[in-house]
Amino acid sequence: MFDIGFSELMVIALVALIVIGPERLPRVARTLGHLAGRLQRYVADVKADINREVELDELRKMRDSMQQAATGMESSFNAELQKAENDLNAAAEGTVETPQAGETPVSPAQEDAPAIEEKQKQ
């Protein structure tokens, strides 16, 4: 952080010893140590808060993209389901014939029954 060498620290300590005095210097050094520790904890807390916010933002973006993908899959599934339903309805309407007067209704399976019986005989 700061580019302070050992010689600069010795000069600062010597000046502090002269200015503050030998009786109060340990108390002042202890107080400065406590303040430096508080400052480091505060900086660490701020960094942790920023990292949490960044992670939350990333998670929100991921959640939004997953919701969009799920919505897209759901809409395509519903479209395919509707298409299949329409095809089945069209096929059902095309094969159902109304019997004429005096005729008995015949299902498609009953119409195919003679052909199947003939294949089995062969």
Tell me the pLDDT tens digit for each residue of 45-89. Answer: 999 999 999 999 999 999 999 999 999 999 999 999 999 999 998
Q: What does the pLDDT look like over 100-120, one tens digit per residue?
A: 555 665 555 556 656 666 666
Q: How is residue 111 written in tokens?
A: 């119409």
pLDDT at 75: 93
pLDDT at 117: 60
Would you say 28 and 16 are in contact if contact means Cβ atoms under 8 Å apart? Answer: yes
Confidence of residue 13 (pLDDT cuts 50, 70, 90): confident
Give the C-alpha separation, 32 to 11, whole Å: 17
pLDDT at 107: 58
Q: How is residue 107 written in tokens?
A: 């299902």
Would you say 25 and 17 are in contact if contact means Cβ atoms under 8 Å apart? Answer: yes
Of residues 68 and 12, the one with the higher pLDDT is: 68
pLDDT at 1: 53
